[in-house]
């Protein structure tokens, strides 16, 4: 319940709407209370006229017209309240959803490592739908209910106090039984929600990777697991429904017994001449009106229970701690800031563009991934990270981007400690081309300009041209406005890569991280992508997770990783003969045995393209060997 109060107290902008809804529901109940009085009065008038004891047709017609006026007013008020309720619900949904999204955008990477995106989305829609539905039905009905109840109690006390006593006993008894239903119901609802969230999480993962599912012929298995999860909710619902309907039967029985007493009082008092027939009709209508709030109460409590269960999941997310080093300003200002973002108040502590200094890191306690990692990159240098798969190369990039904080040691970017830079400032300085290009649905233009939505058409075209993407884009009838489908599904692997390169080109960050993705491309696409990357690397400091020997041989320095530690650092020439990982790679490359090929693969090195001898092959573009880093330190660390 506290969470619902929290929602109300944090949506002050909606208070005028709540007030409007409350006001219209108050007026609504007043107009509906007029009706029994008018009908009661009309009954007496009709009885008198029929019995020849006074009463006039004119009065009856006037009462009928008054009834019409009351009902018309009631209709108008119902719809005004309904309109306000609908718009309030939409605004509330917008506010809660936006806050949820904003919160998620600010959560650290670690949070997403442990959650399925479908679960996050499912939880959002369920929680918000339940909370908004409840608030809507609450504000539309609660006050009508309250006013009707009080009015019925007062009026019935005026005519016959036993009626008021019976009603006064019935209301709390009914509420008590309803409240008793609640706690057990909520626990079961929570368990059901968990099953549904897991099922929906998997659902969206499966749809997102439908090609893999199809290729492994896993449709039936996925479907069965999904069905099983929902199946579990049936058993829980049975338990829940048994409990709920059992309690409801008891509640209604109490109500029915109370009404037996009420009707007996009304009928007998009328028979003994205490009430006129008109008063009897009035009281019967009032008592029936009293039934409504009682029934409505169980509906409101039911949706209230759902809302409480739903808002718990909502607030679990809202109570998560956002990334420690907030971006400068809110998420919104961060997105809108210029390429460098607002000025960062960080101190320069060394001269390197990128530096890792004695860095330790573990994703999970007790399972170190990086140990005592120290290396640096100076302006314009290209540094290749080489190591076995799972050796920690991507983890180094994650630390550089501030996605995780190092457990020990220091990472610096352009001389400033990353830990002291606001995250948006830090991330604006680093362009990344991921192995998986990760495009968004929308147009090619939108994707290229993702980091700089304000870029001119000319700038977008220039970025595409330099990324070798312009020709294929211009072949689309819609050109840059061509829609590329979810995650760019309508583009080939090489085309996606080139759009990703153009996107990084336009971002124009001084530091570049490249997770080479050439193994999935054919030779021609690979060369086109590589040309784009070469252009992108020009005049930038680049950290490359290298997947091709040709790339490695053309960098300024190689950093090899073994068991999470830096094994060697040196120029390709120096490391070629040092007996370390790079030398091993060269030997493996020269070998044709399957075992050696497999070993090469374990380093994530694309054995196929690297040594086919194909003149169009991957190695062709190794041409531009960049300054071989004379002073590069050859250092065996282990
Ligand atoms: N989010 C994560 N949570 C827990 N462990 C992780 C996470 N990401 C990576 N790891 C683990 O950290 C280790 C290093 O992974 P990393 O991705 O850095 O390796 P890599 O050298 O980039 O490998 P590859 O060349 O195969 O991409 C691996 O053992 C991996 O299982």
**CA dist 164 → 146, 161, 286 (Å):** 15, 5, 11
- To the nearest whole percent, how much of the chain has pLDDT over 90? 21
Q: Is 113 in the pocket of ligand 1 (CB under 6 A)?
A: yes
Decide: 390 in ligand 1 pocket, CB within 6 A: yes
Does the beta carbon of 392 lie inside 6 Å of ligand 1?
yes
Asked whether residue 245 carries a pLDDT value surpassing 80, the answer given is yes
* pLDDT at residue 525, as a whole number: 67
Q: What's the mean pLDDT when you consider all of the chain?
A: 81
Structure confidence at residue 501 (pLDDT): 87
Per-residue confidence band for 521, with pLDDT thresholds at 50, 70 and 90:
low
What pLDDT was estimated at residue 81? 87
Query: Closest ligand 1 atom to the C-alpha of 363?
Result: 4
| Residue 618 pLDDT > 70 | no
Within 10 angstroms of residue 163's Cβ, the number of other Cβ atoms is: 25
Strands 511-515 and 430-433: parallel
pLDDT for the residue numbered 348: 61
- In the predicted structure, residue 17 carries a pLDDT above the cut 50: yes
Nearest residue (by CA) to ligand 1, atom 31, is 390
Closest atom of ligand 1 relative to the 398 alpha carbon: 18
Reported as a pLDDT band with limits 50, 70 and 90, residue 409 is: very high
Ligand 1, residue 395: give the atom nearest the CA. 18
The yes or no reply on domain 348-429+509-638 and CATH 3.40.50.300 is: yes
The ipTM value here is: 0.96
Ligand 1 binding pocket includes 564 (Cβ within 6 Å)? no
Nearest CA to ligand 1 atom 30: 390
Q: How much is the average pLDDT of 541-562?
A: 86
Confirm or reject: Cβ of 112 under 6 Å from ligand 1: no
Is there a contact between 537 and 457 (Cβ–Cβ < 8 Å)? no
For ligand 1, pick from 110, 367, 369 the residue to mutate: most ligand atoms within 8 Å of CB.
369
Q: How many CB atoms lie within 10 A of CB 61?
A: 11
Query: Which H or E element spans position 571?
Result: none
Residue 337: the pLDDT is 41
In this prediction, residues 51-55 reach a mean pLDDT of 81
Q: Do domains 92-318 and 348-429+509-638 have the same CATH topology?
A: no
Sort 267 into a burial class: Cβ within 10 Å, 0-12 / 13-18 / 19+: middle
- The tens digit of pLDDT for each residue in 74-124 reads 999 989 988 888 898 889 889 988 998 899 888 888 888 888 887 888 878
Burial classification of residue 228, based on how many CB atoms lie within 10 Å of its CB (0-12 exposed, 13-18 middle, 19 or more buried)? exposed
The residue among 47 and 300 whose pLDDT is bigger is 47
Q: Is the CB of 395 under 6 A from ligand 1?
A: yes
Q: Is the CB of 393 under 6 A from ligand 1?
A: yes
The whole-number pLDDT of residue 609 equals: 43
The ranges assigned to domains in the chain are: 92-318, 348-429+509-638, 439-507
Give residue 293's pLDDT: 77
Residue-level pLDDT at 349: 63
Distance 205 CA to ligand 1 centre (A): 20
**38 within ligand 1 shell (Cβ under 6 A):** no
Closest CA to 344 of 412, 259, 266: 412
Q: Which of 360, 393, 407 to mutate to test the pocket of ligand 1 (most atoms within 8 A of CB)?
A: 393
Is any atom of ligand 1 closer than 6 Å to the C-beta of 391?
yes
439-507 sits in which CATH class? alpha beta
Three-state helix/strand/coil letters over 25-58: HHHHHHHHHHHHHHHHHHHHHHHHHHCCCCCCHH
- For the ranges 189-203, 338-352, 355-369, which has the lowest average pLDDT? 338-352
CATH number given to 92-318: 1.20.1560.10
Q: How far apart are alpha carbons 526 and 547 in whole angstroms? A: 12
Burial status of residue 524 (CB atoms within 10 A of its CB: 0-12, 13-18, 19 or more):
exposed
The length of the chain in residues reads 638
pLDDT at residue 341, as a whole number: 46
More confident residue, 369 or 584: 369
Q: What is the pLDDT of residue 10?
A: 80
Least confident of 35-49, 333-347, 481-495: 333-347
294 C-alpha to ligand 1 centroid (Å): 59
Query: How many whole angstroms from 404 Cα to the centroid of ligand 1?
Result: 13
Which atom of ligand 1 approaches the CA of 109 most closely?
1
Helix/strand/coil for 422? coil
* Residue 178: per-residue pLDDT: 76
Model pLDDT, residue 522: 64
pLDDT at 442 over 70: yes
Average pLDDT over residues 147-172: 83
User: Are β-strands 541-545 and 511-515 bridged in parallel, bridged antiparallel, or unpaired?
Assistant: parallel
Residue 361 alpha carbon to ligand 1 centre in Å: 11
- Would you say 77 and 24 are in contact if contact means Cβ atoms under 8 Å apart? yes
Ligand 1 centroid – CA 605 distance (Å): 16
pLDDT at 50: 87
Q: Whose CA is nearest to atom 10 of ligand 1?
A: 363
């Amino acid at each position: 319940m506290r969470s619902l109060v929290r929602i109300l107290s944090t949506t002050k902008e909606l208070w005028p709407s709540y007030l409007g809804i409350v006001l219209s529901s108050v007026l609504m109940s007043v107009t509906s209370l007029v009706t029994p009085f008018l009908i009661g009065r009309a009954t007496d008038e009709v009885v008198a006229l029929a019995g020849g004891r006074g009463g006039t047709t004119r009065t009856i017609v006037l009462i009928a017209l008054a009834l019409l006026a009351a009902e018309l007013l009631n209709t108008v008020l119902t719809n005004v309240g309904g309109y306000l309720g609908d718009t309030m619900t939409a605004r509330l949904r917008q506010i809660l959803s936006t806050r949820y999204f904003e919160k998620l955008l600010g959560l650290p990477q670690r949070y997403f490592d442990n959650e399925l995106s479908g679960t996050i989305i499912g939880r959002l829609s369920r929680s918000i739908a339940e909370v908004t539905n409840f608030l809507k039905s609450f504000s539309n009905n609660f006050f009508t209910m309250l006013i009707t109840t009080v009015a019925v109690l007062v009026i019935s006390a005026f005519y016959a106090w036993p009626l008021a006593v019976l009603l006064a006993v019935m209301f709390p008894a009914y509420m008590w039984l309803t409240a008793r239903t609640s706690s057990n119901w909520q626990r079961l609802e929570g368990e059901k929600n968990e099953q549904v969230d897991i099922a929906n999480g998997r659902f969206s993962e499966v749809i997102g990777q439908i090609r893999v599912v199809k290729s492994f012929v896993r449709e039936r298995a996925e479907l069965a697991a999904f069905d099983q999860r929902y199946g579990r909710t049936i058993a829980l619902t049975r338990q829940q429904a048994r409990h709920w309907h059992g309690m409801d039967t008891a509640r209604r029985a109490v109500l029915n017994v109370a009404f037996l007493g009420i009707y007996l009082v009304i009928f007998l008092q009328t028979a003994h001449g205490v009430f006129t027939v008109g008063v009897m009709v009035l009281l019967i209508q009032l008592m029936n009106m009293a039934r409504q709030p009682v029934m409505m109460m169980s509906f409101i409590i039911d949706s209230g229970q759902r809302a409480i269960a739903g808002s718990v999941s909502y607030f679990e997310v809202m109570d998560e701690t956002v990334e420690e080093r907030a971006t400068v300003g809110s998420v919104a200002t961060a997105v809108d800031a210029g390429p460098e973002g607002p000025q960062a108040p960080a101190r320069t502590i060394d001269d390197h563009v990128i530096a890792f200094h004695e860095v330790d890191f573990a994703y999970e306690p007790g399972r170190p991934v990086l140990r005592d990692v120290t290396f640096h990159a100076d302006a314009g240098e290209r540094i290749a990270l080489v190591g076995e798969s799972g050796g920690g190369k991507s983890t180094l990039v994650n630390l550089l981007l501030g996605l995780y904080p190092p457990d020990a040691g220091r990472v610096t970017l352009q001389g400033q400690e990353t830990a002291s830079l606001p995250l948006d400032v830090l991330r604006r300085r680093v362009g990344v081309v991921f192995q998986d290009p990760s495009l968004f649905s929308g147009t090619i233009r939108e994707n290229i300009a993702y980091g700089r939505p304000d870029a001119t058409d000319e700038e977008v075209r220039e970025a595409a041209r330099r990324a070798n993407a312009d020709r294929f884009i211009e072949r689309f009838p819609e050109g840059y406005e061509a829609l590329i489908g979810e995650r760019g599904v309508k583009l080939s692997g090489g085309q996606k890569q080139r759009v990703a390169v153009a996107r990084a080109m336009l971002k124009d960050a001084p530091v570049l991280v490249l997770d080479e993705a050439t193994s999935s491309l054919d030779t021609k696409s690979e060369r086109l992508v590589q040309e784009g990357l070469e252009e992108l690397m020009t005049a930038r400091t680049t950290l490359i997770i290298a997947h091709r020997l040709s790339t490695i041989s053309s960098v300024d320095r190689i950093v090899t990783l073994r068991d999470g530690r830096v094994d060697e650092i040196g120029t390709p020439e120096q490391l070629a003969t040092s007996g370390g990982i790079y030398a091993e790679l060269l030997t493996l490359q020269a070998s044709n045995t399957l075992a050696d090929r497999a070993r090469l693969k374990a380093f994530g090195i694309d054995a196929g393209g690297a040594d086919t001898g194909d003149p169009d092959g991957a190695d062709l573009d190794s041409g531009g060997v960049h300054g071989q880093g004379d002073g590069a330190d050859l250092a065996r660390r282990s």
